[in-house]
Structure 1
Amino acid sequence: MKLTLKEFFAGFLRTRHIARHFRRLALLESINDSTVSREVPPTLANTLVDAAQGDSAAVLSALGTHGDGLNDVEAAALRVQYGLNEVEHEQPLPWWVHLWHCYKNPFNLLLTLLAVISWLTEDLKAAVVIFSMVVLSTLLRFWQESKSNQAADALNAMVSNTATVLRRDAPRRELPIKQLVPGDLIALSAGDMIPADCRVLSAKDLFVSQAAMTGESMPVEKFAHQAQRDTRNPLELDNIVFMGTNVVSGTAVAVVLTTGNRTYFGALAQRVGATDRAVTSFQMGVNKVSWLLIRFMFVMAPLVLFINGFTKGDWTEALLFALSIAVGLTPEMLPMIVTSTLAKGAVFLSRKKVIVKRLDAIQNFGAMDVLCTDKTGTLTQDKIFLARHVDVWGGDCDDVLEMAYLNSYYQTGLKNLLDVAVLEHVEVHRELKVGTAFRKVDEIPFDFNRRRMSVVVEGRGQPHQLICKGAVEEVLAVCSRVRHGEADEALSEELLTRIRQVTATFNAEGLRVVAVAARSMPQGRDTYSLADEQQLTLIGYVAFLDPPKESTAPALKALAEHGVAVKVLTGDNELVTAKICREVGLAQQGLLLGNDVERMSDAELAVAVETTNVFARLTPSHKERIVRLLKGNGHVVGFMGDGINDAPALRTADIGISVDSAVDIAKEAADIILLEKSLMVLEEGVLEGRRTFANMLKYIKMTASSNFGNVFSVLVASAFIPFLPMLPMHLLVQNLLYDISQIAIPFDNVDEDMLKKPQRWQPGDVGRFMLFFGPISSIFDITTFALMWYVFAANTPEQQTLFQSGWFVVGLLTQTLIVHMIRTPKIPFLQSRAAMPLLVMTGIIMAVGIFLPMGPLAHYFKLQALPSLYFVFLPVILLAYMALTQAVKGFYIRRFGWQ
């Protein structure tokens, strides 16, 4: 496949080898937006349709499995037959394919062309030198990316999504998704990613989000049976669920039909190819800079060709020289510098218990100026305590705790921290004899619209009891009576007012209040539905305490000092949220509730989000909308969450942050996984992102300014000197040495002052920087021309090798020193010193630059030894160059600032 310049630069920073394990949602988005047909191979479609229409026993028999699942021996044999449950584009590239990708960029292709032309013109020395550059460049990039891939793979192995598998010879257990095989039985509940294409065997209020596959915004209900027997479209089957989608609510048991590339998702992936996410602001910024240099190259290279062709008369030499100029103008080391810098940042953050799934998210860390975060487990401890169990009027009541315990114990959906806190009261389990005295009849799972869930239990000789637990307002909405001592009374407006006063008092104390209600149901039924959640009796409340973390206050202060505004987006009560914000020192600036968000237009909300930092009672769509509008206002937005309700906002944010204990869909949607849920870790991530950005920007600025100066010098020399100021081979060797000197940039120090504010790509600033600092080197290049012409009499074609040698040394040394001049706004070497690897590499390259014309290899490179007097002038030129650059730098900082 041919690779154009535009395609190459558009893909500069897509670290596709490194992020390969975490692209399912990104690929699904691209499939959904693409014009690629959603048709799949007929064999797969027929397999899914046949499985949907067959009865459960026939499907299990065809798969060679049983009603209680496979055993481990059977599963191992099937894994050998079918392979791991991974989609092809997520696999690592074979080394030879990776090596080819490292070679096939426009720069190496151009160098190869130059080597071939040199060989055809019998300039074997130039051909060997140029070919060596290609090999060295390719191998350097291959080595760096291989190291980065290995580091990323090691980090990614620390975070894996799992599925709940039912095996015949063992209790249900969590296994990595990639170990699933056709015939495995899996249990699904809210928050789970669906790990393969599966046939539903049993389901209870199972709603699945297929938006990424079909574009449907609303979840689709799935059943154990297929209603329409004539349905042929796999996506319309009632009892088939697909890899890459997720469970919104409800529970199910399903059998795996197909895995890996044989799934519907795998078929689409093979048709679309390995597709990355939408281009980030980071990628777009680098693309703009790259195209600035490319446009500059397209203007300057032809000028050099025609000036030298007309003035020297040797068009072949002029063409080679112009091509060499083109190579010198292209930032060929940028992919390697960026990959190395990002990989170094990822490894650093891993030591801080931060796993980076998508490498360019590190830069977004540094650019982030707004962090949206949930309250629970982030501002507060990830440990909730059951503080009170009270009746409707606030008096202690054991009946409420017993009801809440039965609800939490028998519900099979997503058990949150509140359920865990209730279930810690094991004394209730003993007193009620839960395992023997009660039998679960049915349940009505939780969803984020109702914000409540119910179980139906049967005691010995007792009628069925429906127990409902959930948010106070949502439970009150289905209550008609209130338990008052031993009697029940009708729920009136006066009682509603008193109830809200009681719960508000608890909220003001920082307690999260969950209402508990119940209703006796006649025996004889086995299934219940949402319609049964009505005419309930409010029994009381369980109130939970989620104390703030000790690290939260200093972390918020540190983020504020570094220019990151924190906004709290929570589905919790506004009084609880306000109390926690006060305790952690987050000054509340306005408050918006979910209902307020619902009523506002996008234009109104876009204004409100700028002046408000606390949002409460939000739904998942509210969170996503707020994040989207903040991005639309020009902010780089991070979102931190761990629940299924956070997934839309995680995907919308510039950087999604989750934790290893999060639900599958949240981990899959996130760019960053925290092994420790702490804002202090985020603050370190922000700083590392800014260091990463600063080091990458150094290379961009150096490349832009030095290339501009060199080409300007070449134009002047070409117009007035009767021979080439430097041979094509000289330019290429100089460019190679300069590039090698930059390998240490990822390990450089960054001034503390440059870490205090968010840093973002500003391509216009790079262009301005190039125009200011590029001509400085030209001044000293022209000074060198005059020195070689008048002082050393290198002014004839016979003396051109001396002239070229003199400029070769000055050009390389000034080009190498520029990194120290522009890596900091301070005085280099005195106020700010580069890291030792960069200092050592700079010294080595400068020494090699002087050795080449002075040593025994000079004639191979068509150079010659320079007179001793030259080395008297050389330090003067270099010191003057550094002094002038520092002076211009001071003017530039006063006028435009320094990023």
Structure 2
Amino acid sequence: MKPIETLLKNLFSAFVRRRRASGLFGRPAVLDGMDRGDASGPAFAQVARGLRRAASEDVAAALARLSSHADGLGASEAAELRDRFGPNEAGHEKPLPWWEHLWHCYRNPFNLLLTLLAVISLLTEDLTAAAVIGIMVTLSTLIRFVQEGRSNRAAERLKAMVGNTATVLRRQALDPEVADIGAKYFGVRLHAQRGATTVEVPIRDLVPGDHVLLSAGDMIPADCRLLAAKDLFVSQAAMTGESLPVEKFADIGRPFESVFDAPNLVFMGTSVTSGSATALVVATGPRSYFGALSERVTASDRTPTAFQAGVNGVSWLLIRFALVMAPVVLLINGFTKGDWTEAFLFALSVAVGLTPEMLPMIVTSTLAKGAVLLSRKKVIVKRLDAIQNFGAMDVLCTDKTGTLTQDRIALERHTDAEGVPSDEVLRYAFLNSWYQTGLKNLLDHAVLEHAELQREMRVAEEYSKVDEIPFDFQRRRMSVVVADRDGGRTLICKGAVEEVLAGCGRIRVEGADVALDGARLERVRAVTRELNGQGLRVVAVAVKDSPAAQSVYSVRDEAGLTLVGYIAFLDPPKESTAPALRALDAHGVQVKVLTGDSELIAAHVCGRVGLAHADIVLGPQVEAMDDAALARAVETHAVFARLTPHDKERIVRVLRGNGHVVGFMGDGINDAPALRAADIGISVDSGVDIAREAADIILLEKSLMVLEEGVIEGRKTFCNMLKYIRMTASSNFGNVFSVLVGSAFLPFLPMLPLQLLVQNLLYDVSQTAIPFDDVDAELVARPLRWNPADIGRFMLFFGPISSVFDIITYLVMWYVFGANSLAGQGLFQSGWFVVGLLTQTLIVHMIRTPKLPFIQSRAAWPLTLATLVIMAIGVVLPMTRLGGWFGLQPLPPAYFPWLVGILLGYAALTTAMKTLYIRRFGWQ
């Protein structure tokens, strides 16, 4: 061995012996029995045991058990644990394997009916029918499989655009050459510190042993044990239902019954309301309490949303209708024809023809296409079904800051208590914003970026931080304590004017501190009202000298303050706000402003953007109202000011109770309850974690104009979906009468089972282009709602029209072309096959719009092309050899003038009935 290596080995051995006791390196084989194991996820009892152990042991023991360190994990350690434990993700609906997805696409009532029909055909040795039916089942399943696959991938790509991160403490490793010596001689790799640093890590990459830094507004990303906490309040409502935040501490504290009572544990899925903390991750992903709960929930089927229930309701209505009518058709044909086997096959074909087998695929592909189009308009849809609510929304509640006004707030003035410009106030405000570690808002950034401070003042170098009292939404203020070079300590408090004044007993006037009496208090309020009236947001600044011996501060110390002045910010309205409000109003969406700001600022901004605000309702008034009084107030008022988070949530719920479809747009911690309460929660990509998690839709640009464009696109998507439902319901309902009439009076079947199936297949293929159709501007001018009663009325009104022309076709084929015997049944069936297919396809263009089709409103080219191709196939098919396999035969030339006449008559009658329907019922 070389002398240098011997020396290094001896030094390294001594270092290892000295440091091993501190747990610097070496890792247990299994971390508390929570290694990857049971694929179904850990039981709640096992999770609870692990959490109890973490809460009961001291910090050193917890760090040692998780092989962590006082300064966090190194990057290589975290990578090894990530490979071992997998991603930090709670159980959610993962994409199905392709074979399972294929099975789900097949196993619907419609395909099961078709399969039954194919089996019966095989048993009756009708191989041609069995082959065609098999093709129908295959095509129907594959079309849905491909479309849904594309939809799911599009939705996943959109969701991936919105990701959350956590701030993690990362220790730096030793030089690689030194670490290699440890590996060479001892089989141990060092991870010693060279200066820990904070990094932003995707939440899914967190591992047990990570140190996470938490502050107000953060979602807690895993089950954690607190290492340090400062005035930490956590909302556990998602886990326990507690309405009030719970204070948490780093100490072990008293014994506890439930793990949620442990004062030093915080849980995945909860959120930080106020304060700050450093937490040790003890359980991630499915090993967390929330993860175990999620796995249990996702193991069962998802409960259908109201929208899905509506679609399914229409589907099953038609299926039940078919199940009632099919036996009637069976009995009529069985008794009149005498061939019960043929009658049974025909009845099954009728049942299949009456069921909207393409409805799930049409709905899914329409929503997915809408989501993709919305993404191009900077609107990210997290949940596809939310598009329906987007189109139905008639009330939009929004905060004021950053939505009506510009995102970038400028520090406009800094004055003393009398309104005179003051650099002293600016200095104190800068120190407060510079040293706070909680959630820095736009006001803090405006202070820190102020040009005068950057150019002239280097106040931060003259002071050091002693402590801070973080912001919370009850106090609406925050404080820092700083020490100057001489050791003198000053508490600097800034926040909402009234809340800061509540802690003040004195006021600084021309450099002297005097008592804050009634006259001076009135003068203070007059100055702030004047600033508010100019559209400025005013923040009060107060100070208090503190004993040098004191090092820990709390809310109790925010008393006996001296008011030194104000800092005022300008947040002018966006240029796009007024046009956006007019556009939303024109499209039937009322905008209501729910803000925590003062009524003076709210009135100034709303007045500049043209939003009516004759009488502003204040938070204290909302609290004093019962639900009935508030229900009346929300209908007659558009602006609500000085609201708490609970007030916003209550207003949203009352609006929904009044029958409105309510959207709420917010991006802050205090907006999360209202986001959850709304029919559709809307946040922005720059919002805090909890707001984005609560939202259904994420805007990539915080603008009402973007939202207005999204509303229109959502309505177009909903409109196209309604088209298919109406067309299918009315066409299928009309076919029932045609089949019943034909079955009762004809000596043969009006159409063979196989012919009915082929006709149904061709019609369904033409409908696959509906998601790509255009929508009339008038149809998206007002909110659209799911209305099953309207669909039923539409079906009864338009369905029989096709039956009228089906009966005319019967008469033409019977009397004009002599297809009135068993020998002529092929000609009869071919004639009705063509008429039935063309009228079914033509109805697409007739009722897709309330306007005159082809003249005032034309379908998009994909739908036009699809219907033309299917109509051409329907006309040509009886003339081909393939048509002979289906029992069809060529039609005489004289048939086609009759065909044109029937189609023109059908179009004319449908147009006339549509005009009557619109006059009586309107058109959604």
Matched, 1:365 2:390: yes
Aligned match of 2:254: 228
Aligned match of 2:904: 879
The answer as to whether partners of 2:434 and 2:460 remain within 8 angstroms in 1 is no
Query: Structure 1 length as normaliser, TM-score?
Result: 0.93
The answer as to whether partners of 1:636 and 1:654 remain within 8 angstroms in 2 is yes
Measured in 2, the distance between the counterparts of 1:276 and 1:459 equals 62
Instruction: Give the deviation of 1:96 after TM superposition.
Output: 1.8
- 1:281/1:611 Cα in 2 relative to 1: closer, same or farther (>3 Å)? farther
Deviations 1:439-490 (A, max 9, x none): 2222111111111111122222233222111111111111111112222222
Letter in 1 for 2:230: K
Deviations 1:75-97 (A, max 9, x none): 11111111111233243222222
Query: Structure 2 length as normaliser, TM-score?
Result: 0.91
Query: 666, 677, 683: which one pairs with 2:708?
Result: 683
Measured in 2, the distance between the counterparts of 1:42 and 1:489 equals 62
1:681-720 equivalent positions in 2, closer than 5 A: 681-720=706-745
Instruction: Give the deviation of 1:187 after TM superposition.
Output: 0.6
Matched, 1:376 2:379: no
Aligned match of 1:151: 154
The answer as to whether partners of 1:202 and 1:224 remain within 8 angstroms in 2 is yes
Measured in 2, the distance between the counterparts of 1:520 and 1:318 equals 98
Matched, 1:84 2:87: yes
Measured in 2, the distance between the counterparts of 1:700 and 1:512 equals 52
Deviations 1:503-529 (A, max 9, x none): 100000000011111112212233211
Letter in 2 for 1:44: V
Deviations 1:756-810 (A, max 9, x none): 1111122111111111110000001111111222222222234322222221111
Instruction: Give the deviation of 1:606 after TM superposition.
Output: 0.5
Aligned match of 1:6: none
Aligned match of 2:523: 498
Q: Indicate the larger mover: 534-543 or 165-174.
A: 165-174
- 1:39/1:148 Cα in 2 relative to 1: closer, same or farther (>3 Å)? closer
The answer as to whether partners of 1:748 and 1:835 remain within 8 angstroms in 2 is yes
Aligned match of 2:797: 772
Query: 118, 122, 125: which one pairs with 2:128?
Result: 125
Instruction: Give the deviation of 1:236 after TM superposition.
Output: 2.2
Instruction: Give the deviation of 1:111 after TM superposition.
Output: 1.4
Instruction: Give the deviation of 1:540 after TM superposition.
Output: 1.0
Query: 572, 579, 585: which one pairs with 2:597?
Result: 572
Letter in 2 for 1:749: D
Aligned match of 1:839: 864
The answer as to whether partners of 2:238 and 2:270 remain within 8 angstroms in 1 is yes
Query: 42, 52, 71: which one pairs with 1:49?
Result: 52
Query: 558, 561, 568: which one pairs with 1:536?
Result: 561
The answer as to whether partners of 1:371 and 1:567 remain within 8 angstroms in 2 is yes
Matched, 1:638 2:641: no
SS in 2 for 1:388: strand
Matched, 1:166 2:192: no
Letter in 1 for 2:776: D
The answer as to whether partners of 2:411 and 2:450 remain within 8 angstroms in 1 is no
Letter in 2 for 1:499: V
Higher relative contact order (CA 8 A, sep 6+): 1
Matched, 1:202 2:202: no
Deviations 1:391-433 (A, max 9, x none): 1111111111111111111111111100110111375478664
Query: 60, 65, 71: which one pairs with 1:62?
Result: 65
Matched, 1:397 2:422: yes
Measured in 1, the distance between the counterparts of 2:209 and 2:785 equals 50
Highest Rg: 1 or 2? 2
Matched, 1:659 2:662: no
Query: 809, 812, 815: which one pairs with 2:834?
Result: 809
1:386-465 equivalent positions in 2, closer than 5 A: 386-425=411-450, 428=453, 433-465=458-490
The answer as to whether partners of 1:555 and 1:679 remain within 8 angstroms in 2 is yes
Deviations 1:299-325 (A, max 9, x none): 322322222233233333333322222
Aligned match of 2:552: 527
1:16-415 equivalent positions in 2, closer than 5 A: 40-169=43-172, 171-229=197-255, 231=256, 233-273=258-298, 281-415=306-440
Aligned match of 1:5: none
Deviations 1:125-168 (A, max 9, x none): 11111111111111111111111122222222221111111111
Instruction: Give the deviation of 1:641 after TM superposition.
Output: 0.8
SS in 1 for 2:121: helix
Instruction: Give the deviation of 1:598 after TM superposition.
Output: 0.6
Aligned match of 2:638: 613
Measured in 1, the distance between the counterparts of 2:834 and 2:560 equals 90
Aligned match of 2:622: 597
Letter in 2 for 1:327: V
The answer as to whether partners of 2:469 and 2:553 remain within 8 angstroms in 1 is yes
SS in 1 for 2:92: helix
Letter in 1 for 2:540: A
The answer as to whether partners of 2:538 and 2:566 remain within 8 angstroms in 1 is yes
- 1:228/1:646 Cα in 2 relative to 1: closer, same or farther (>3 Å)? same
Instruction: Give the deviation of 1:609 after TM superposition.
Output: 0.4
Instruction: Give the deviation of 1:552 after TM superposition.
Output: 0.8
Measured in 1, the distance between the counterparts of 2:205 and 2:507 equals 51
Q: Percent identity?
A: 70
Query: 747, 755, 777: which one pairs with 1:752?
Result: 777
Q: Indicate the larger mover: 117-126 or 504-513.
A: 117-126
SS in 2 for 1:519: strand
SS in 2 for 1:456: strand
Letter in 2 for 1:78: L
Deviations 1:154-192 (A, max 9, x none): 222221111111111363122221111121111111111
SS in 1 for 2:73: coil
The answer as to whether partners of 2:275 and 2:471 remain within 8 angstroms in 1 is yes
- 1:505/1:48 Cα in 2 relative to 1: closer, same or farther (>3 Å)? same
Measured in 1, the distance between the counterparts of 2:555 and 2:752 equals 82
Q: Report how many aligned residue pairs link the two structures.
A: 861
Deviations 1:680-737 (A, max 9, x none): 1111111111111111111011011100000111111111122221222222221111
- 1:317/1:88 Cα in 2 relative to 1: closer, same or farther (>3 Å)? farther
Measured in 2, the distance between the counterparts of 1:839 and 1:531 equals 73
Q: Indicate the larger mover: 658-667 or 787-796.
A: 787-796
SS in 1 for 2:227: strand
SS in 2 for 1:395: coil
Letter in 1 for 2:91: E
- 1:227/1:429 Cα in 2 relative to 1: closer, same or farther (>3 Å)? farther
SS in 2 for 1:271: helix
Structure 2 residue runs of 5 or longer lacking an equivalent are 1-40, 173-195
Letter in 1 for 2:217: G
The answer as to whether partners of 2:412 and 2:568 remain within 8 angstroms in 1 is yes
The answer as to whether partners of 1:49 and 1:232 remain within 8 angstroms in 2 is no
- 1:429/1:550 Cα in 2 relative to 1: closer, same or farther (>3 Å)? closer
Query: 854, 857, 873: which one pairs with 2:879?
Result: 854
Matched, 1:724 2:749: yes
Letter in 2 for 1:84: P
- 1:70/1:435 Cα in 2 relative to 1: closer, same or farther (>3 Å)? farther
Aligned match of 2:35: none
Measured in 1, the distance between the counterparts of 2:603 and 2:777 equals 34
The answer as to whether partners of 1:699 and 1:745 remain within 8 angstroms in 2 is yes
Taking only aligned residues, the RMSD between alpha carbons, in angstroms, comes to: 1.8
1:510-521 equivalent positions in 2, closer than 5 A: 510-521=535-546
